[in-house]
Amino acid sequence: MGRQIVLDTETTGLEPADGHRIIEIGAVEIVNRRLTGRTYHQYLNPERDIDAAAVEVHGITRAMLEDKPRFAEIAAELVDFLDGAELLIHNAPFDVGFLNAEIRAVVVGGQALRIARVEDCCTVLDTLRLARSLHPGQKNSLDALCKRYSIDNSHRTQHGALLDAEILVDVYLAMTGGQTALFGDSAIPEKPVLLDGFAFEGGEALVVPPDAEELAAHEAYLETLDRASGGRCLWKLLSP
């Protein structure tokens, strides 16, 4: 699976074509489904007013951003952080549209930048589109997915780019295999744990081969994982 970056933005409004700007970027790095501890988080001065409806969503006001850098000032370091990764974004066209508008403004402004759009340094996976393919006809907002996958988002009283990116990490891992905490170091027990329901004889675990129905159900589940991950289901890739 390699390196993936879960990313979210907050903005002054809904349309970059209307001159709206990014005011917060949050990104979390995962490698092979494990958090690396590397993040990118930056508030930005949009040099314009923020729509009242947007402030209600994220709680960020123009006064809070007066001393923050402009996008052009952090563009190069952001590109360096994203370079070569697969971006995981919920409703990716929205965030990518804003990122590309900001990048174009930097280039048009005469500043050197080695890309003309974010897709020049990354691939992009829209987790909203993935969720809709897995749960057609259902609500697939981040809040709805948290509820569906029993992910605690009670601390999310307002939108925030880094907070939403951190929540989306859990949602994405749950959607693509249901294994979230398993890949964190804290999930590794200090001592072996014996689980209820296993039969032991002479200190050895009894292995019960699956029957044909169980094998078929397992294969169907792997097919679902493979479709959801774009052909990157590890179990299928390693199957003889």
* Among 161, 157, 168, residue whose Cα is nearest residue 56: 157
What is the per-residue pLDDT for 186?
A: 38
Predicted confidence at residue 177, as pLDDT, reads 86
* pLDDT of 101 higher than 70: yes
Position 38, amino acid: R
Domain boundaries, the chain: 3-183, 200-238
Q: pLDDT value at position 108?
A: 84
The token duo for 221 is: 């589940």
Give the pLDDT band of residue 110 (cuts 50, 70, 90): confident
Q: What's the distance, CA 213 to chain centroid?
A: 35
Q: What is the mean pLDDT of residues 115-130?
A: 97
The residue-averaged pLDDT of 59-86 equals: 97
DSSP β-ladder status, 86-89 and 3-11: parallel
Active site residues: 159
pLDDT in tens, 189-205: 344 444 444 444 455 55
Phi-psi region of 19 (alpha: psi -120 to 50; beta: other; left: phi over 0): left
CATH of domain 3-183: 3.30.420.10
> What pLDDT is stored for residue 228 in this prediction?
64
- In angstroms, the CA 17 to CA 106 distance is 15
